[in-house]
Amino acid sequence: MFYNKKWLFLIILYAMSMALYYFIDKQLILTGFMSGVLIGSIIIFALIAITCFLIALIVSIIARVSYIAGCGLFKVSPKEMLAKTFWTIFTVLSYAAVFIVFLKMIEY
Amino acid sequence: MVSYNTDMVPAHKVAGILKKKRDTNFRISVILTLCFLLVCGIVYYAKNSGYSKDVILQKANSYFAHEQYFMAAKYFNKAVGLGAEGPEVFRNYGVALFKLGNYDLAIKNLKLSVEIDPYNSDTYYLLGNAYYQKAYSANSSDMFLQSVECLEKAINFSPDMEKAYILIGLSYRNCGMQDTARAWYRRALLASNFSPPGFYNLIGHTFREEERYKEAADYYQRAIDIDYTFTAAYCNLGDMYLKMNDKAAAMLKYKRAIGVEPNYVLPYIKIGQVYYDDLCFDDAVFWALQAFNINSDSDKANYLLGMSYKELGRKNEAVEYLQKAAYRGSDEAVYELKNIGIDLLR
C-alpha cells in the first residue's frame, strides 16, 4: 500500500500545505485569522484532507459495490480490500489537490 | 502480487517477508513524493521564467486604473517580486493595499516610495492617511502623531493641500489635542483659498469636543454667515443651543436647515428627538416619519420611530421599526429589542 506509515503521509501532506500557504499568501495577501502561518496552513491542510477523504470514501464505496457485483456475476469470492482502496485513492487525491492548488497559485 | 502460504513457512520468516514488503512500499512512496516535488519545482521554474516584469506591471497598472484593487495588489506584488521598482510602483501598490484595508503593508510600500522620491507631497499624504487609519483602528496616540509627521511634510511640499490640513486636525483631535488642531485649522484659513465655512465648522467641532459650547456655537454661526446653505452647520449650531438648554433656538436652527435643504434627513431626526426627550411622542412620531419618508434606510429614523411607538404603547410598530434599525446597524435598537424579549442573534 502506498505510504503504509499513514502518520508520515499526513505529516508530509501538512508540510505541503505549509508550502501552499506560502504561495497563497503571496497571491492573495491573507488577512484575519488566516494571516498566521500555523493556523492558515492547518486550515489548508484540513480542507484538503477532508475534501479528499469524502471523495475517496464515496469513490471507494462505489468501487467496492461494483467489485462485489462483478464478483457475483463471475461467481468469484470477493477479497477484503476496501481499506486499501480507500487509502490509495485518498493519497492520490491529496497529491492531485495539492498540485491543482499549486498550479492555480503560481499563475498570473 | 505474491501471496504467502503461512501454514508452510515458519512465523519468523513470514514476519521478515512482510517487513521487506513494507519497506519496499515505503521506499516507493518516498521516491514518488520526491518525484512529485521535483515536478512541482520544474513547473514553478518554467512558469516563473515565462513572466515578464513589464507585462505584469502593465496588468497591475491597468487593474489599478480600473479600481480593481485586489487584482492590482496581486500583480504589483508579483511585479515587485520580479524586480519592478520606482516610486510610482510602490505608491500605487501602497494605495491598492490601503483600499483593501491592509494598512501595515500599505505603510511599508509607501515608505519605500518616499525613500526613493522624498519630495512627493501626495505620497506623504497617503502615508499620513495610512497611519491615521491604522491609528484609528488601534486607538494609538503614537500612530496619530506619526500620521501628523507625514502630513506636515505633505503640507511643506504642497501648502495648498486642503485635505492634509483636515486630516492633520483630525489626528490631533483624536489625540485630545484640540487646541493644536485649532491652530492648524486657523493656519489653513490664512494659508490658502480654502473653504472658510468648512474650517470654521471644524474649529467649532474642536470647541464642542472640549465642551466649550458657546465658542463652538460662535464658530458654527460664522460658518453659516459665510455660507447660508451649510445645512450641517445649522444642525451643529442647533446641537450647541440644546447643550446650552435653549430648546427654542435649537428648534429654530433645525427648521432653518430644513428650509435650506428639505431633503436633508438629519434636522428632522433632531427635531423628533427633542420632542421625544420632552415626552411629546406623537410629535416625535410625526417628525421621525418625515425623516423616514426621506430615507427609509436611516437607522436613526427607524430607531426614533421604534422608540416613540414603544412609548405610545404600539408594540407591533415599535418592534417593526426597531428591527429595521437593528438591521441597519443600530446597536441601541438591538439592546431595546432584547429588553422587549426579541433576540436577533438567535
- Best probe of the B interface among A6, A26, A27, A29, by most B CBs < 10 A, is A29
Question: What count of other Cβ atoms lies within 10 Å of the Cβ of residue A20?
Answer: 21
B152-210 confidence digits (pLDDT tens) = 999 999 999 999 999 999 999 999 999 999 999 999 999 878 889 999 999 999 999 99
Res B69 pLDDT > 70? yes
With an 8 Å Cβ cutoff, is B114 touching chain A? no
Res B5 pLDDT > 60? no
CA A87, CA A60: separation in Å to the nearest integer? 9
Residues of chain B found within 8 Å of residue A34, distances taken between Cβ atoms = none
Residues of chain B found within 8 Å of residue A1, distances taken between Cβ atoms = 25
A43-92 confidence digits (pLDDT tens) = 999 999 999 999 999 999 999 999 999 999 999 888 888 888 899 999 99
Side chain identity, residue B43: V
Res B7 pLDDT > 70? no
- Would you report the helix, strand and coil content of chain B in percent, each value rounded to 5? 80, 0, 20
- Which of A89-103, B14-28, B131-145, B210-224 comes out lowest in average pLDDT? B14-28
Q: Please tell me which of the candidates A4, A12, A27 has its beta carbon nearest to residue B33.
A: A12
Continuous segment of H or E residues that includes residue A79: none
Q: A–B: how many Cβ contacts below 8 A?
A: 49
Q: Please tell me which of the candidates B22, B44, B77 has its beta carbon nearest to residue A106.
A: B44
Asked if residue B298 lies in contact with residue B306, where contact means CB atoms within 8 angstroms, the answer is no
CA B126, CA B106: separation in Å to the nearest integer? 9
Check residues B50 and B162 and name the one with the higher pLDDT. B162
CB B48 to CB A106 under 8 A?
yes
Q: Which of B202, B252, B253, B248 shows the shortest CA–CA distance to B223?
A: B202
Burial annotation B88-125 (CB, 10 A radius, 16+ → b, else e): ebbbbbbbbbbbbebbebbbebbebbbeeeeebbbbbb
Q: How far is A31 from chain B (nearest CA, A)?
A: 8
This complex has an ipTM of 0.88
Res B3 pLDDT > 50? no
B233-270 confidence digits (pLDDT tens) = 999 999 999 999 999 999 999 999 999 999 999 999 99
